[in-house]
Amino acid sequence: MASQRDWLDTGLEILARDGARALTIERLCGELDLTKGSFYHHFKGMTGYHKDLLAHFEAEHTARFITAVEGSGEPAPARLRRLLDIVLDVESGSAGLESAVRAWALVDADVRAVQERVDRTRIDYLSVLWRDLGGPESDVTPMARLLYLILIGGQQVIPPISATELRDIYQRALRLAPPEEAETE
> Is this structure's pTM higher than 0.75?
yes
Candidate from 10-19, 78-87, 90-99 with smallest mean pLDDT: 90-99
How many Å apart are CA 122 and CA 62, to the nearest integer?
7
- Confidence band, pLDDT 50/70/90 cuts, at residue 92: low
